[in-house]
Amino acid sequence: MLKLALTFLVIGLVLGLLGFGGIGGAFVGIAKILFFIAIALFLLFLVISLVAGKTVKDAID
């Protein structure tokens, strides 16, 4: 997902440089949304893995 966000960011910046500010801004906005979704998913999976890891460790001990 970060790769997709980076792609949208680069396309938005290129469009902005070429004078297509409206659509370039939209692409940058989409990139920001995708970036924050990726960060939120990372944190969610991090918490889940920490909780699941503790329960597995408790089951083994």
Task: Compute CA distances 49 → 1, 19, 44, 55, 59, whole Å.
Answer: 19, 45, 9, 10, 15
pLDDT of residue 56: 61
pLDDT band at residue 52, thresholds of 50, 70 and 90? confident
Looking at the predicted structure, is the pLDDT value of residue 45 above 70? Answer: yes
Q: What is the pTM of this model?
A: 0.77
What's the structural domain count of the chain?
1
The boundaries of the domain holding residue 21 are: 2-60
